[in-house]
Amino acid sequence: MKALNFVSRIALSLALAVTVSSAVPVMAASKSTVSPAVGKPLQEAINLLKSGKNKEAVAKAQEGAAAAKSPFEIYTANEILINVCLKVSDFACAVKAVEASMASGQMPPEDKVQHLKILVQVNYATKNYAKTAEAGTLLLKETPNDTETQVLVAQSYYLQKDYKKASDSLRTIVRSSDTAGRPVKEETLNLLMSSEYELKNDAGVESTLELLAARYPKPQYIKDLISMKERGLSGSSSKTSLDVAVIKYNVGVFSKPRDYTDLTELALQDGLPGLAKKVMVKGNADGVLGKDPTAKDRETRLLNMATTTATNDEKNLAKGEAEAAKAKNGDALVKFGEAYWSYGMYDQAIAATQAGIAKGVTLADDAQLRLGIIYQSAGQKAKANEAFKAIAPGTVSAQLAALWKLSK
């Protein structure tokens, strides 16, 4: 319905060479006049239209168009025919009239865009998607930044199951919108994702999910993106598993007791009891833990272990960091930075991690990832993005960084 309403607005605003309020010049046919055989029925069509007799007006306008011989007559008759056909919602008639008018060679250049818009909108509304794409392509040559037309062309390709052209068109919309600083609609990104899915292009689906999760951070988008990336990261390392689990925890997709206890065990194994304690405390506070009698003993042991270990660990952080500073490289300092982060001590975490990177580290990408995570957790997103950008593209750390950007 939206498309049809748009067509009606176009019809009302068309700068017609002969409008419904003007008389048709009736005399011997010449370059810029019409013959009586054409002019008389056209004038009658105008009068009928003015009196609200739209169907009768169509018949008379068609009579005039059928009698038209010269290019000017063809143009004049079809301009009136466009208007009356749209008035009665005879869209096939309107399309033929627009095409004939444009083919006459008499149309002023400034009217071309409006007529192409009619072709795009009417063909789309009547499900003639091949013609929509054809007219839309011509229109975009005249108005390359017309996002509405770009979307209709892309939708037309999609509905014809030409998913490659649909994807290419939609990615053009994303690029041009980003360049112009215009937001890309959520439904446009969803259509792009669907196109990539139909093409069985997992990388395309994933990259589009990244856009959706970043610009429209709904839980389902984030959950789906994490699931996709997790499949690609499976088997990387226990550290990667820990990162993915923490991201899930942060974005709120934990729902089962096992989610909390598994993350707690991973955190304890990685020497992050502060994180382990925080997770268990939250699980209990949210009412997720402590419900299953068969798991209660295990959950209690994990909470006690995490609490005791965290208490002892936190007391010795400063002393341990001082020892780490004496090492030849910065690996231990980066690890202490992560420990500070787990307790929410972000200033100390940043200082220790930066000092470690400055000394030189074995895993440079992972160190930059840790620094970015700390900045992200501290609410310093610009600095987090700087740290993430320093990671080599295509690495596991880079994939994790893309997910961490979604984390709270």
Domain boundary assignment for the chain: 2-108, 254-314, 317-404
Of the listed ranges 141-145, 183-187, 201-205, 232-236, the least confidently predicted one is 232-236
Most confident listed range (104-118, 139-153, 336-350): 336-350
Residues 127-133, mean pLDDT to the nearest whole number: 95
Band (pLDDT 50/70/90 cuts) for residue 223 is: confident
Residue 87: per-residue pLDDT: 86
Band (pLDDT 50/70/90 cuts) for residue 262 is: very high
Residues 89-105, mean pLDDT to the nearest whole number: 91
Q: Is 9 exposed, middle or buried (0-12, 13-18, 19+ CB in 10 A)?
A: exposed
Residues 240-250, mean pLDDT to the nearest whole number: 92
Q: Is the pLDDT of residue 164 over 50?
A: yes
Residue 240: per-residue pLDDT: 92
| % residues pLDDT > 70 (the chain) | 91
Residue 252: per-residue pLDDT: 85
Q: Is the pLDDT of residue 55 over 80?
A: yes
If we measure between CA atoms, which residue out of 179, 176, 111 comes closest to residue 144? 176
Reported as type and span, the H/E element at residue 206 is helix 202-215
Residue 30: per-residue pLDDT: 43
Residue 17: per-residue pLDDT: 30
What is the CATH architecture assignment of 317-404? Alpha Horseshoe (1.25)
Residues 240-267, mean pLDDT to the nearest whole number: 92
N- to C-terminal Cα separation, the chain: 41
Residue 32: per-residue pLDDT: 65
Cβ atoms of 154 and 166 within 8 Å: the answer is yes
pTM (two decimals): 0.71
Burial 251-283 (b: 16+ CB within 10 A, else e): beebeebebbbbbbbbbbebebbbbbbbbbeeb
If we measure between CA atoms, which residue out of 324, 320, 373, 317 comes closest to residue 350? 373
Cβ atoms of 55 and 36 within 8 Å: the answer is no
pLDDT 10s digits, 304-331: 999 999 999 999 999 999 999 999 999 9
If we measure between CA atoms, which residue out of 272, 398, 281, 256 comes closest to residue 345? 272
Residue 50: per-residue pLDDT: 87
Residues 56-60, mean pLDDT to the nearest whole number: 91
**Residue holding tokens 């370059």?**
31
